[in-house]
Amino acid sequence: MNQSVEAGQAVYTKKTLFIYDLWVLGFSNSFLWKCPTKNLRNTFKKHSTVNHLDVGVGSGYYLDKCLSDIERRVALLDLNMNSLNAAATRINRFNPEIYCDNALEPLNTRCEKFDSISVNYLLHCLPGSLQEKGIMFKHLDKLLNDKGMLFGSTILGKDSNYGYFAGKLMAIYNKKGIFDNASDDLTSLESSLNKYFQNVNITVIGCVAIFNGQKI
Ligand SMILES: C[S@@+](CC[C@H](N)C(=O)[O-])C[C@H]1O[C@@H](n2cnc3c(N)ncnc32)[C@H](O)[C@@H]1O
């Protein structure tokens, strides 16, 4: 595996996943990225279906907080087994399917397709320009049923609205390879999404772009 792809997921250890909700979803979203997590929960609730795949699962927070306890199919896809284990344990009530795969490569995952796919805070961890890492949309599109919806969010590092401390932290994350979003802007996100989806919507809150698009 390419070193920068490895770096984008390596930080998710058992320890960092333990504090992820507090640090990222509690503190950073509100005070650094200026997009309180409530906005992302609302998007998740609005677009997730009873046949859903979450990609780049982290701690499994949105699946836990936003999916009602009805009978549903939930699947998890991530490159990192720590994330997969943490999320799967957290939502074991849904008996999730688990796929360990790299979203930047043609997927090895062979399974029935989904009606909705979420990709929250994954793009800014992936290496390359948005044009290059947008290849992920092509791979995920193959797992979407007709009329299926892909939705998610990403932190924009270029031409976006963040303060001094957020900028400093983003620079450190980029240096360490935890983020790779220094050239990610709204225009390239839009063109990347439009390449693979129709009816694309993007809303920017703080420096977070929240997006969705439908299978063509
Ligand atoms: C910042 S976390 C996002 C967690 C969650 N979606 C959220 O919004 O809170 C990024 C996740 O993407 C995963 N990841 C990073 N690179 C990946 C890749 N190339 N393919 C699949 N998953 C990847 C990481 O292991 C981690 O679980």
Q: Which atom of ligand 1 is nearest to the CA of 118?
A: 6
Closest-CA residue, ligand 1 atom 8, reads 120
DSSP secondary-structure letter at 106? -
Model-level pTM? 0.97
Q: What is the mean pLDDT of the chain?
A: 97
Residue 101 has pLDDT above 90, yes or no: yes
| pLDDT at res. 4 | 84
12 lines ligand 1 (CB under 6 A): yes
The strand order across the sheet containing 51-55 reads 97-100, 73-78, 51-55, 114-120, 144-155, 208-215, 197-205
78 lines ligand 1 (CB under 6 A): yes
| pLDDT at res. 6 | 86
To test the pocket of ligand 1, the residue of 80, 84, 99, 108 to mutate (highest count of ligand atoms within 8 Å of its CB) is 80
What domains lie within the chain, and their CATH numbers? 3-104+112-215 (3.40.50.150)
Beta-sheet pairing, 197-205 with 208-215: antiparallel
Residue 1 has pLDDT above 70, yes or no: no
Distance 187 CA to ligand 1 centre (A): 23
- Bridge partners of residue 204, in order along the sequence: 209
Q: What is the pLDDT of residues 44-75, one digit of tens each?
A: 999 999 999 999 999 999 999 999 999 999 99
Q: What is the pLDDT of residues 157-205, one digit of tens each?
A: 999 989 999 999 999 999 999 999 999 999 999 999 999 999 999 999 9
Residue 91 has pLDDT above 80, yes or no: yes
Residue 106 has pLDDT above 70, yes or no: yes
28 lines ligand 1 (CB under 6 A): no
| pLDDT at res. 184 | 98
204-to-28, 55, 177, 209 alpha-carbon distances in Å = 16, 21, 24, 4
| pLDDT at res. 134 | 96
| pLDDT at res. 25 | 98
> How far apart are alpha carbons 63 and 74 in whole angstroms?
9
> How far apart are alpha carbons 95 and 87 in whole angstroms?
11
